[in-house]
Structure 1
Amino acid sequence: MRQDIYDRQMELTMKRTERDRIKRRLNGAEKRLDEAIDSRDRLYRRLTKEQQDIAKLGKFSFTNKLKAWTGKWDEQMEKELAEAAEAELKYNEAEKTVMDLKMETEKLRKEMQNPDFTYIDEDWTDFLKEKEIWIRQNDSVANSTLQKIADVRVSLRSMMRELGEAEEAGRKAIRALDAALNKLGSAEGMSMWDTFLGGGLIVSAIKYSEINSSEDLIHRAQRALRHFETELMDVQNIAAESFTINKKDIFTFTDLFFDNIFSDWMVHSRITDAKSKLNQVLQDVRRVLDGLARKKDEVDHELKRLDVQEQDIIIS
């Protein structure tokens, strides 16, 4: 009977933990989606304004004609194009983020519809009543101790599961960061050739192709890091400050390439800076993974200790 109670408690606890975790994630994803949509819409309005400024500057007017005579038209047009390029990059990044969060939110909503969650609270209430009756009928020191061991074991196994999921998300983040770093390394090589050795049109084209590929990979790394942070939030009874990625080290592609975008030197400098920042984030993730591994060892050690304690009580 005691084993039946333990098994039932484990089953219900895991289901309730999973349900609460999905609900917490869904609430967070919905909030982030609303914020991302607001940000995307603001950036779209800004992009539209920049496009209108370029169109206005391109129209014939005596003011524009005067700027052309004085040489200020080219300067103004270059400035407007740079601002439009910045706005377009940021808008595209925001649109990708919105799409990611929409898919995440839809997935979580479907998970919340799991039939196992329909009557989980009622099942838990009924179980607690049954458990109370059993404890009253079997009120001995040994049974009480065994039940306490079972309660702790349920909590530890739930924690072990969450630690494992966080660890897997961290490994995926590292793979995504490594891919982005490798692509940025290729872009840096092309940029150095183009900037300092006069690579010509072909090298310049390859450089920007590598930069465009880097944009997608950095976005994937961002997505992996967001998932990693979500998993870390699910880890119970762990000091939060020990498992936090430094926010200032997390950035988007548009943080790197938006100012003086047509300057070869500035692009090269941005690529170098991006690699440095990505390496900082990579080290941060590895530090967190090391902490998770240590915590898993501690939990595993405690589970083994409980097994020994339980066997000693049963045998004695």
Structure 2
Amino acid sequence: MIQEINASLTKIIEQKRLKEKLERDLQAIEMEYQDRSALLKTLSTQLEKEKVDVEKLERTSLTSLYYSVLGSREGKLEKERQEMLSIRLQFQQMKHHVDYLEREIDRLLHQLDNLRDVDSMYEQLLSQKEKILRQSNQSVARELVSLSERITNGLSDLKEISEAVSAGKDVISGLDLVIESLEEAKGWGTFDLVGGGLISSAIKHSKIDNARGLVYGVQTKISQFERELADVKNNIDIEINIGGFESFADFFLDGLIIDWIVQSKIVESLEKSRRAKKRIAKAVTELEEQGNILQNKIFEHQEKRAQLIKIS
């Protein structure tokens, strides 16, 4: 009877841990969704304002005539267009991330709905188990139960570490693609500086556009990795710090968009991408080391449990 209850408890404990993880993830994502939605609304307002400013300068008016007489109308118009482009791309990036967060919230709510009865089932099994143990005052039975619980918890912790490692490696893969695109843009930019002409300039801009698109994907992967890392820290005493990645794409918006033809901005973004990859890779290595330590502990508990059953 106790073995059947233990088997059921093992499954329920895994589901309970999953439910707790999903609840933490949902809380974090809902907070981020509120913040990002507010920023999206602000960017939308700014974008409309920039459109109006550009349209004013493009129309024949006293203002445009004034700038034309001074010889600065085209310069002013170009500046306004660049500002509008910057805001538009920031808006697109933010919209992309907000849409992703909405999908994540829906997914988590659906998963949590399937686990709504887990807590009550856990309490029922725990009550049955306690009743049996009180009736059977055997130290061996208690030790077996204790070892089974340690193994179950250890396996759950190991699963969370594995998920965090996988999420971290996804970030690294994404950053590798960003770095590759930036390196290609850098090469074409160098050629452009020594007189490559319109073709090399167009190719460089194409590579930058590709890198920026890849960064949007990396941003969502980083968010996922941060949540997985938070789950690991919640259950395991581990110190891993990857620093702030709240808006990883910002340096693209600040550099490659506002002044995207400047070669130094490509180099700067390339270096920042490499540093980000190094930080993530270091965290993944530490997680893998912690996973190996935990795996050894689980193996020890399993060996001890098997030996105890054998001699009893």
Shorter-chain TM range is over 0.9
Q: Which residue of structure 2 lines up, in the alignment, with residue 77 of structure 1?
A: 77
1:33 to partner: Cα distance? 1.7
- Describe the shift of the 1:78–1:113 C-alpha distance in structure 2 as closer, same or farther (beyond 3 A): same
Question: What's the counterpart of residue 86 of structure 1?
Answer: 86
RMSD: 1.8
Q: Find the counterpart in structure 1 of residue 214 from structure 2.
A: 217
Q: Please name the residue that 2:133 is paired with.
A: 135
Q: Does 1:247 align with 2:239?
A: no
Q: Does 1:281 align with 2:261?
A: no
In structure 1, the residue corresponding to 2:205 is in which secondary structure?
helix
What letter matches 1:301 in structure 2?
N
Which whole-Å CA distance do the structure 2 matches of 1:239 and 1:58 have between them?
A: 61
Question: What do the CA deviations read for 1:145-177 (whole angstroms, capped 9, x no partner)?
Answer: 222111211111110111111111111111111
Q: Aligned partners of 1:248 and 1:303: how far apart in 2? A: 33
Q: CA, structure 1 residues 269+287, in 2 after alignment: closer, same or farther (shift >3 Å)? A: same
Structure 1 residues 175-184 or 27-36, which shifts more? 27-36
Consecutive unaligned residues in structure 1, runs of 5 or more: none
> Number of residue pairs matched?
308
Structure 1 residue 314, shift from structure 2 partner: 2.7
| Preserved CA contact (<8 Å) 1:249 1:277 | no
Superposed displacement of residue 112, structure 1: 2.0
Q: Which residue is equivalent to 2:8?
A: 8
Counterpart-to-counterpart distance in 2, 1:66 and 1:295 = 68
- Asked if structure 1 preserves the Cα contact closer than 8 Å seen for 2:151 and 2:301, the reply is yes
Q: How does 1:280-299 map to 2 (within 5 A)?
A: 280-299=275-294
| 3-state SS of paired residue (2:258) | coil
Of the candidates 182, 187, 195, which is equivalent to residue 198 of structure 1?
195
Unaligned runs of 5+ in 2: none
Map Cα deviations across residues 23-44 of structure 1 (whole Å, 9 max, x no partner): 2222222222222221111111
Distance 1:168 1:248, change over 3 A: closer
Residue 304 (structure 1) aligned to one of 289, 299, 304: 299
* Structure-2 residue corresponding to 1:97: 97
CA distances 1:108-130 after superposition (whole Å, capped 9, x unpaired): 2222222xx23222211111110
For the pair 1:208 / 2:205, whether they are aligned, the reply is yes
CA distance in 2: counterparts of 1:20 and 1:269, whole angstroms:
46
Under a length normalisation based on structure 1, what TM-score does the superposition of the two structures give? Answer: 0.92
Task: Give the match for residue 231 of structure 1.
Answer: 228
Q: In the alignment, which residue of structure 2 is the partner of 1:58?
A: 58
Q: CA deviation at 1:49?
A: 0.5
Provide the residue aligned with 1:106 in structure 2.
106
Structure 2 contact 57–63 (Cα < 8 Å) conserved? no
- Distance in 1, matches of 2:156 and 2:81, equals 54
Report the alpha carbon displacement of residue 237 of structure 1 after superposing the two structures with TM. Answer: 3.2
Q: C-alpha separation between the residues in 2 aligned to 1:232 and 1:7? A: 29
Asked if the contact 1:46–1:87 (Cα under 8 Å) also holds between the matched residues in 2, the reply is yes
Cα deviation 1:212-231 (Å, max 9, x = unaligned): 11111111111111111111
Please tell me whether the aligned partners of residues 51 and 84 of structure 2 are also in contact (alpha carbons under 8 angstroms). yes
Q: Once the 2 structures are TM-superposed, how far is the Cα of residue 256 of structure 1 from its aligned partner?
A: 3.1
**Residues 249, 223 of structure 1: alpha-carbon distance in 2 compared, 3 angstrom cutoff:** closer
Give the AA of the match of 1:206: I
Q: Measure the CA separation in 2 of the matches of 1:170 and 1:149.
A: 31
Shift in Å, 1:3: 2.3
| Worse overlay, 57-66 or 170-179 | 57-66
Aligned to 1:68: 68
Q: Distance in 2 between matches of 1:166 and 1:255?
A: 30
Match of 2:24 in 1: 24
Q: Identity of aligned pairs, percent? A: 25
